Amino acid sequence: MNALPVAKTTRPGNALAGKNVQRVAAIIPAKDEAERIAATVRSARAIPHVDLVLVVDDGSEDDTQHVARAAGAVVVRHSHNRGKAAAMETGAAVVAMRDADGRPPRLLMFIDGDLGDTAVNTAPLVRPVREGVADLAIALLPKQAGAGGRGIVVGASRRAIEAMTGWSPSQPLSGMRCLTREAFEAATPLARGWGVETGMTIDLLRKGYVAVEVPCDLKHRASANDLKGQIHRAAQYRDVLLAVNARKVRGAVDAVRHAGSNVRS
């Protein structure tokens, strides 16, 4: 027997069961991923229920778009680099254009371009969302060889999410996530750049959507502890703080508005 649905997103009714079952779009934001994108695309095509693999080439300077297309992806491209969050928004907009009338909108599965052959192992994220157990399923990755992080950005993101929602995710920056169209729309506009995961989790939980973390056997190109890695982490830290601060301000404004309407009523 299936677990009882607890997710907030309205589920397609039984009339839509059978051959009209809910499909999944894999959206892969990619900047300069020519080396790994073919394996990632091929692997994503093997995820059960995925019928559309979309690569958003975010202004790559390498051959990402052609390699991705040759591997069987639908490819759209930003003419200049706009950051991961913008690539995700573009991807979701393109999927919406391809969702068929009379069918439930596809679930959106965001996958990083550097997962290679392991991309298929995001498959366990689909079930809890498809079955209505959660609106958002986030991949928990095993420990990555060569990872040089000291937990500073991860800790800042986790603490902010916990302070603002009460939930303390193990891997708050994990970008492999499957969610319903309704939840995605509720999370837009997305926080910019590397703040996108932190902002999305805070926004959805505050609106009553349900998130779960699901272990997935994934391997990605972890940032090392060299100069390039440190610069990358500094950018992540900046974007996470921007996302959190914007949400704190919004929370304070909402509280003042709410207090004002209580006084008037």
Ligand X SMILES: O=C(O)[C@H](O)COP(=O)(O)O
Residue 144 engages ligand UPG in binding (rule: CB under 6 A): no
Decide: 18 and 24 in contact? Cβ < 8 Å. no
Distance CA 122, CA 109 (A): 9
Q: Of the listed pieces 110-118, 122-130, 133-141, 152-160, which binds ligand X according to CB under 6 A?
A: 152-160
Distance CA 233, CA 13 (A): 44
Non-local (6+) Cβ contacts of 148 within 8 A are: 222, 223, 224, 225, 226, 229
Cross-sheet strand order for the sheet of 211-215: 74-78, 50-58, 24-30, 107-110, 177-179, 136-140, 211-215
Of 86, 233, 244, 247, the one binding ligand X by CB under 6 A:
233
Residue 114 engages ligand UPG in binding (rule: CB under 6 A): yes
Decide: 70 and 86 in contact? Cβ < 8 Å. no
The minimum distance between CB 205 and ligand UPG, in angstroms, equals 18
Burial class (CB in 10 A: 0-12, 13-18, 19+), 84: buried
Residue 33 engages ligand UPG in binding (rule: CB under 6 A): yes
The tokens describing 255, both together, are 């509280």
Q: What is the DSSP string of 107-150?
A: EEEE--TT-GGGGGGGGGGHHHHHTTS-SEEEEEPPPPTT----
Residue 210 engages ligand UPG in binding (rule: CB under 6 A): no
Distance CA 250, CA 194 (A): 19
Residue 212 engages ligand X in binding (rule: CB under 6 A): no
Residue 112 engages ligand UPG in binding (rule: CB under 6 A): yes
Decide: 25 and 126 in contact? Cβ < 8 Å. no
Residue 150 engages ligand X in binding (rule: CB under 6 A): yes
Q: Which does 220 bind (CB under 5 to 8 A by kind): ligand UPG, ligand X, none?
A: ligand UPG
The minimum distance between CB 142 and ligand X, in angstroms, equals 13
Of 9, 90, 122, 236, the one binding ligand X by CB under 6 A:
236
Residue 224 engages ligand X in binding (rule: CB under 6 A): no
Residue 81 engages ligand UPG in binding (rule: CB under 6 A): yes
Question: Which CB sits closer to ligand X, 90 or 236?
Answer: 236
Of 28, 87, 154, 187, the one binding ligand X by CB under 6 A:
154
Q: Of the listed pieces 68-76, 79-87, 90-98, 101-109, which binds ligand UPG according to CB under 6 A?
A: 79-87
Q: Residues in the site for ligand UPG, rule: CB under 6 A?
A: 29-31, 33, 58, 81, 83-84, 87, 112-114, 173, 175, 194, 197, 220-221, 223, 232, 236
Q: Residues in the site for ligand X, rule: CB under 6 A?
A: 147, 149-154, 222-223, 233, 236
